[in-house]
Amino acid sequence: MEAHVFRGRSPLLTVWLPIVLWAALIFTLSSIPSLHSGLGTWDLILRKCAHVTEYAILTFLLRRALAAPWAAGVAFLYACSDEYHQSFVVGREGRPRDVAIDTIGIIIGLLAARKVLR
């Protein structure tokens, strides 16, 4: 389902605003100095699941606006820029491993979009 399906409504509101808001949420969460919950191993698992979920949703939203390769590329570049941003946040690190985990979310987002947006 491409943006033209939202007839009578502005694509800026129906397609692009959710993308911008979701990207802003990711940026905001990345700006928090520490997201450790104190749950030990579960803390790590939950944070990595959050990475996957954040980028699955971002990619799904992007896929509504763009062809699959472009949606995946934009999401991947955003993941890279997000990790770079985190390298400047006290208590956070930018890690290539997290970009790889985000990429799992990107793939899930593409698969979900393929199934839902037919």
The whole model's pTM is what? 0.88
- pLDDT for 3: 45
Query: Read out DSSP for 14-68?
Result: IIIHHHHHHHHHHHHHHTSS----S-THHHHHHHHHHHHHHHHHHHHHHHHHS-H
Per-residue pLDDT of the chain (118 residues; tens, 9 = 90+): 454 555 667 888 899 999 999 999 999 999 999 877 788 888 889 989 999 999 999 999 999 999 999 999 999 999 999 999 999 999 888 999 999 999 999 999 999 999 998 8
Report the alpha-carbon distance of residue 87 to residue 108 in Å, rounded.
Answer: 26
